[in-house]
Amino acid sequence: MKFAHVLLMLAVAPAGITFAQDSYQWLRDESRQSPQVLEYLQQHNRLTDEALSPLRDLQHSLLSQWQAMTVSKADEPWQSRFAMEWKLSSQRGELSLLRRANAKAQAQLVYSFAPRQAQAEYYQIGAWAVSRDQSKLLFSEDIDGSERYQLVEVDLKQGGEKILATGLDQSMLYSADGQYVYLIRKDPTTQRPSEIRRLTVADLSEQRIWQEERADWLLSFYQASDPRYALLQSNNENSSEQKLLDLQSGEVRPIRPAQAGLEYYADVAKDTLFIKSNLHGQPRLYTAPLKQPSEWTRFTQALDGLQQFYLFADALVAVTQQKADSQVLVFDYAGELKKRLPLNPQGQVAWVSRNGDFASNQLRLRSMSMTTPPMWQELNVKTLDLVTLSRDVYQNYHAEHYVSEQVILDQNGVEVPITLAYRKDKLNAHSPVILYGYGAYGFTMKPYFMPQIISLLDQGAIYAIAHVRGGGYYGDAWHQAGRGEQKRHSMDDFVAAAKSLQHYQQGERLVYAMGSSAGGTLVAGALNQAPQAFAGAVLKVPFVDVVNSMTDTSLPLTEQQYGEWGNPQVESALKAMQAYDPYGNIKAVPYPPLLVQIGLNDQRVPYWEGAKYLSKLAELGTGQGPYLLQTDFESGHASDRRKALEQQALEYAFLISLFKTSSQAEQK
């Protein structure tokens, strides 16, 4: 599909950087109110709706299958706070906060968010907290997808609720007495979390606690294990700085000055700071007295590959990773190892969380594979007993009918892992492959069990995740090998994975790609590099206009992302970006069918990136299409949970229709 445009504008870049004429720059509208732009997006929505209308029955069939499978889903563990158990529950998309005394007690409704949800097409809770006397509820909410949260306090005893502040980051903390709330204000232009303030609940006055002037640094905070304290933090891509906040007195004390390349993250227990840091290269665990926070001592020598740590009344728990092997290690506070628990068997995923408070001594473990339903376990770090709390039971699901495995791809001497799954009785030499990838920020795409994926396997597809460089599958070195000037490695790995899977088990297979956000960069870059390797793709809120966005410091997150994508003022970094930039490298080749989805209120990846990309590709591409653009006018970077499944069903229906069409063509 090709569309004519009458308005032509030029991209504006910093001095010293020039671009070719950009025919679609006119689609950028900061106000998101331009009649011409809105009509263009609505026109594309109408065309997309028309193209996808034959798939509605398949979409509804997928939804029905998913909903039927989740009927018997087990209850996940509750959170322990203030000697009570709490849960933010979602039933049919409606959110509510529940409370109970223990697992045997009747749950009580604390607060229903449904009336507030009903007032907005998009609604997300960012975070919530309860005052220590349990008389007040505090939560942040996003009502338009812009990630500009407003802070709401509810009086749980007297009734009534009020908005305390707007235009915020999602995080917040109560002071010990509940008279103050700590919040984070965003820069009004770039949306960078730039200022930590203390708000007085009584009169809504605010006092500045920390203002971060460095444009590539972001502010955040979190509650310490010792409830008296919180950690205030500023960090950029490879450095961090923290301060200790006393929630009783309001005193703020520095821990260690910022130093380029030095990262550290602290917690507090037993009048001691426990600090994960790369002070001497690899991440290690240190301790320091509260009164002398800069005097660090190594906690134990028997702790390499540190990923995370958790503090409890009777133990310290560390999660380590060596290559793809992860372990949970339980230490006493003298540094003696008490228990070692392996995680992540091949093709599976497991992670840990502290759903209880410091005194609970309860560590929760969640494990699954793409074909094994999730299981919750609980490790008592005092007694070292491990018990199974619950297993998800899916109606009419038989795990023995499916296979989940990991294969290793040799990419020019680099071993790239691929996790995949299929249904045994559906696998044949022409079973299509749906290949998912992300590959950025050191984030690992975990092989979760999802009814949605099972439905694809039931349709005869192989579902695969390519753990490309730039992600975190093999730790920080894997991330470094696919970021900045090495970003092209991510696309190389993804293309190699697609070509390898075409012949998985001696088959002749079509490969379809999916990617979201930075995963959209990966997939779109791979499509430019090897369009013939893919038979179709879905891109969700894709970051595809890399060079233009990374040169525009007025956009949210640009300067903060230099470490991940590169600073275009550096010639070598600019050349690396230009080499893979998805938008800049679109050319006259037969691209496969595409569905590109964007959110009008997206502040992370502005809507115009996906709109420009699809428009340019539809103009220059020589394939048959379809090339479809779909805009959600009520969402941002994430979809409202009430619509998310419906949207996902449409994405899968699009891909299923493509490989069914290809299969029918082969049979003729």
Q: What is the DSSP string of 449-460?
A: --HHHHHHHHTT
Sort residue 178 into left (φ over 0), alpha (ψ -120 to 50) or beta: left
Q: Is residue 144 part of a domain?
A: no
Q: Is residue 136 part of a domain?
A: no
Residue 439 reports pLDDT greater than 60: yes
Residue 5 reports pLDDT greater than 70: no
- C-alpha 530/C-alpha 174 separation (Å) is 52
- C-alpha 348/C-alpha 449 separation (Å) is 9
Q: CATH number, domain at 472?
A: 3.40.50.1820
- C-alpha 273/C-alpha 659 separation (Å) is 56
Residue 13 reports pLDDT greater than 50: no
Tell me the residue range of the domain where 465 lies.
25-67+405-667
Residue 205 reports pLDDT greater than 50: yes
**Residue 75: pLDDT band with limits 50, 70, 90:** low
**What pLDDT is attached to residue 72?**
59
**What pLDDT is attached to residue 81?**
85
In tens, the pLDDT along 497-515 reads 999 999 999 999 999 999 9
Ranking 8-22, 43-57, 474-488, 535-549 by mean pLDDT, the lowest is 8-22
Higher-pLDDT residue of 475, 429: 429
Residue 20 reports pLDDT greater than 90: no
- List Cα–Cα distances, 575 to 147, 484, 508, 551, 564, in angstroms: 32, 11, 36, 13, 15
Residue 86 reports pLDDT greater than 90: yes
Residue 390 reports pLDDT greater than 80: yes
Residue 604: how many CA atoms within 13 Å on its side-chain side? Answer: 15
Q: Is residue 137 part of a domain?
A: no
**What pLDDT is attached to residue 7?**
26
In tens, the pLDDT along 284-300 reads 999 999 999 999 999 99
Q: Is residue 485 part of a domain?
A: yes
Q: Is residue 119 part of a domain?
A: no
The percentage of the chain sitting over the pLDDT mark of 70, rounded to a whole number, equals: 94
- C-alpha 463/C-alpha 528 separation (Å) is 22
**Residue 354: pLDDT band with limits 50, 70, 90:** confident
Domain count, the chain: 1
Q: Is residue 371 part of a domain?
A: no
**What residue type is 446 in one-letter code?**
K
**Residue 347: pLDDT band with limits 50, 70, 90:** low
Q: Is residue 538 part of a domain?
A: yes
Q: Is residue 534 part of a domain?
A: yes
Residue 14 reports pLDDT greater than 70: no
**What residue type is 326 in one-letter code?**
S
Mean pLDDT of 6-20: 34
In tens, the pLDDT along 507-543 reads 999 999 999 999 999 999 999 999 999 999 999 999 9
- C-alpha 451/C-alpha 457 separation (Å) is 10
**Number of Cβ atoms within 10 Å of the Cβ of 295:** 12
